[in-house]
């Protein structure tokens, strides 16, 4: 029995592939994780927005703008900070368009996604900070779900480790050949070529903790005017700072030998913390039409809560 327990705890196996073929259609785990995360963020964000006094259906309407803007922004940031992969001597510029192969920068996704959200909010007559506070915990949970895609892609991991939760990395090849393909290939041998820190898992667990922190603080202090969103940003960047330094994947480096995302995380963290403490306005109260016009059932207490 002890030998079985030791074997189970020795390391975490990786999936043998991240893409399954349904006839001519590739089913990509990374894409499914991104979609699942978006669904969770929209559904939870909708419930929180209505509970804070917002109109029903607003999150879906805003998401129509925010999601595509965010995907484009995330890809642009990734390509800009890892441009040699696509435009260097050994790169292929066309690969910069292949978002399904992975590679989304959260900083670009949040920045350009906010532009899309601003457009959607203006169309619905909702203040952007009010909307951001409602969707903040859902966004960070969506990021946690998205990290599962990195697990299937065998990417974004750390250095070697002998800890019980070390991640097994397999050699993947194009089926029927010996051509290496880490993303779309299949592991023909489940003997690991390395056992590494699962930094995607560290970030996944950290993000779930940040979501709990935002929900607790929002209820305890009735955060408003973007403070809940800023708390999410501060919590996320605090974790990303140390997790990013553990990663061993290629990255653009600045100030000598510092990964650019470490610097960005530090700068954004300081700005977010400053906003949390300097913004003192009470939670917004939207001036919306009476939700219980004569002859209708009254809204629930949760829906009336600001």
- Please give the average per-residue pLDDT across 40-66, as a whole number: 97
Q: What is the mean pLDDT of residues 224-233?
A: 97
Q: What average pLDDT does the chain have? A: 89
Predicted local distance difference test score (pLDDT) of residue 6 = 44
pTM above 0.85, yes or no: yes
DSSP letter string over 128-146? HHHHHHHHHHHHHHHHHHH
Position 97 scores a pLDDT of 80
For the stretch 153-171, pLDDT in tens is 999 899 999 999 999 999 9
Q: What is the mean pLDDT of residues 10-20?
A: 91
How many angstroms separate the CA atoms of 227 and 234, rounded? Answer: 10
Q: How many CA atoms lie within 13 A of 172 on its CB side?
A: 18
Local confidence band at 2 (pLDDT 50, 70, 90 cut-offs): very low
- With vertex at residue 284, the alpha carbon angle to CA 215 and CA 301, rounded to the nearest 5 degrees, is 65
% of the chain residues with pLDDT over 90: 68
Max mean pLDDT among 12-26, 168-182, 191-205, 248-262 falls in 191-205
Tokens 């129509």: give the residue: 64
Return the CA Rg of the chain. Answer: 22
CA dihedral for 152, 153, 157, 159, sign (positive or negative) = positive
Does residue 10 carry a pLDDT above 90? no
pLDDT of residue 102: 67
**Helix intervals (H) in the chain:** 2-10, 29-51, 58-81, 83-87, 106-124, 128-153, 199-221, 227-246, 260-278, 301-304
128 close to 95: Cβ distance less than 8 angstroms = no
pLDDT at 306: 36
The first and second tokens of residue 88, run together, are 């260097």
Nearest to 233 by CA among 80, 75, 106: 106
**Rounded average pLDDT over 295-301:** 49
Per residue in 81-133, pLDDT (tens digit) is 887 778 888 778 888 887 766 678 888 999 999 999 999 999 999 999 999 99
**pLDDT computed for residue 299 by the predictor:** 47
Report yes or no: 286 and 54 within 8 Å, Cβ to Cβ.
yes
- Whole-number pLDDT of residue 99: 76
Compare 155 and 299 and report the one with higher pLDDT.
155
């Amino acid at each position: 029995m002890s030998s079985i327990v030791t074997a189970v705890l020795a390391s975490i196996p990786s999936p043998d592939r991240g893409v399954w073929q349904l006839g001519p259609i590739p089913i990509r785990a990374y894409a499914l994780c991104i979609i699942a995360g978006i669904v969770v963020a929209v559904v939870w964000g909708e419930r929180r927005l209505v509970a804070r006094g917002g109109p029903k259906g607003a999150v879906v309407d805003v998401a129509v703008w925010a999601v595509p803007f965010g995907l484009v922004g995330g890809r642009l940031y990734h390509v800009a900070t890892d441009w040699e992969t696509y435009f260097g001597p050994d790169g292929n510029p066309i690969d910069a368009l292949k978002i399904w192969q992975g590679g989304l920068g959260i900083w670009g996704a949040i920045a350009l996604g906010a532009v899309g959200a601003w457009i959607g909010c203006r169309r619905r007559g909702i203040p952007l900070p009010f909307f951001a506070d409602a969707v903040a915990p859902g966004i960070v949970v969506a990021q946690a779900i998205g990290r599962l895609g990195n697990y299937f892609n065998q990417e974004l991991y750390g250095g070697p480790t002998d800890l019980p939760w070390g991640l097994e990395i397999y050699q993947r090849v194009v089926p029927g050949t010996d051509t290496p393909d880490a993303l779309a290939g299949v592991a023909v041998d489940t003997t690991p070529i390395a056992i590494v820190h699962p930094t995607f898992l560290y970030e996944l667990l950290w993000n779930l903790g940040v979501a709990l922190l935002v929900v607790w603080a929002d209820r305890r202090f009735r955060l408003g005017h973007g403070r809940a969103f800023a708390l999410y940003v501060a919590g996320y960047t605090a974790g990303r700072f140390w997790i990013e330094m553990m990663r061993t994947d290629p990255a653009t480096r600045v100030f000598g030998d510092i990964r650019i995302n470490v610097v960005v995380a530090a700068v954004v963290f300081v700005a977010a913390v400053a906003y949390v403490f300097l913004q003192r306005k009470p939670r917004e109260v939207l001036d919306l039409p009476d939700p219980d016009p004569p002859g209708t059932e009254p809204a629930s207490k949760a829906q009336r809560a600001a």
